[in-house]
Structure 1
Amino acid sequence: MSDLSVFVSADIEGVSGWLGDDESTPAARSAMVDDVNAAIRGVLEAAPDASVLVADSHGDKRTIPPDELHERASLLRGGPRPFGMVDGATAETDLAFLVGYHDRPGTGGFLEHTFTGSIADVRLNGRSVGEFELNAVLLAARSIPVGFVTGDDRLGETVADRLPSAAYVTTKTGRGWSSAVCRHPDAVREEIRETAAAVTADPPTDPSTPVPVELPLTVEVEYARASYADIATLWPGVERDEDARTVVHEAADVPTAYQFVRATTKVRTDDA
């Protein structure tokens, strides 16, 4: 496994100890990078010569302090990026980890959302999906298996149901949208390291998808407000559903579907 290439997509809502405080604070940024570093240590423990690329995937994608990241890893920062949270994962990538993730709206998960609060639901061929599913589907389209995910207990249930081949570490148990019982960060990071090492030593070979993918893909984005759909329908090829808040697009392939969803998240104003 000397030439193993591992991609880590890192969000913040599901990291250990963090409860939605200002993510620009040193404590929040350190919480995110410490979970990521635990995963990197596990990778290098099992495959000392592996390469690791970390994609900072929260907010403006500048949350991870570069000087605090493990020195053996490279860091992708900033945005917007064409493929968002999984930009940087290529045909040369062997394995993907999703660290600090959260579930989609309506699951009861801690800080549940899909990319932005303007979106109430995203559906692929009629199935509701969140960031975890969308990213895993795109990775699978590139033949990259998701080996490991971390986040809250509700996302853990979703991963177990939709992608049972992926290992999971629970960082916190939600008690409401913005409250949770947090495990001690040291205990979480030790489990992250151990799990990352185990998955790296015996990685999944089948890039399974968490939801069935039948082309073409019908992509539905349901906004929280009809005014957002008004703006989205100004784009060519976008139609409004019978529901005034939902727009629909037929995508010929997974990358196009993913980019369409990413574009719809940028509708955040009533300005036409």
Structure 2
Amino acid sequence: MRVAAVQLHSTPDRDRNLAAADRLTREAARAGAELVVLPEKWPVLGTPEQTIAAAEPFDGPILHWATSIAKDLQIDLVAGSFSEKTGEERGANTSIHVGPDGELKASYRKIHMFDVEVNGHVYKESAHEAPGDEIVVTETANGVPLGLTICYDVRFPELYRILAVKGAQLIAVPAAFTFATTRDHWEVLLRARAIEGQAFVIAANQVGEHAPGIRSGGRSMIVDPWGVVLATAPDTETFIVAELDLARQQEIRRTLPSLANRRPEAYRWPTEVTA
């Protein structure tokens, strides 16, 4: 199975971003990709105010574009994520999976809100968007289970373990990882999640400066279940492709059965978070 991750330098200019996403998705399909993953917030990414101002209903232009291009190219498409208007005070950070028939297969709303401070810059995603509460496993056209996550989710191994236990063989990670955390954490986290879940991880990151002080680190990656990086993007708008050996994945899960050897009856969640 051949997959691709599209790396974008999204800006507040929606038309420019859509043109870049369309072009690179088509190029990835011409390179043989059966599944293409786009980055987080690719339709509009600028200041928090600019990004949220561009929010649209679930069945708006992004869903229309995704269903149209997936059907045209006959591919599975994880259309990154976009700012969704939900009718509530806060919206959602929403990812969609569309099949080669142009039909919506699944949607996922980011569970973990990016409320952090990085190099003195404070991010408060929860000020504009509410967290989702559903873990989602969908399936590609050729029957391979696919887990959906977004960016900051990658720091929460319990989510990825549950996706693997629910059968996910592939996990998509659309992201807009900050420049600093991309340099120091991105590859380590992606490889760890791949090894723990014995899953292929397809991580499509943003790259470049989106607004003053808001910069993503690129280095989109495709990682195999052994933790080997199959492809890494340079620091520019581009796409990467890799061939996934699903038979090798089954062999890894058979010979090093860490998923089967779990002992959930022995695990106890602390009632208090002391960290």
Q: TM-score, structure 2 length as denominator?
A: 0.38
- TM (norm. structure 1) is 0.39
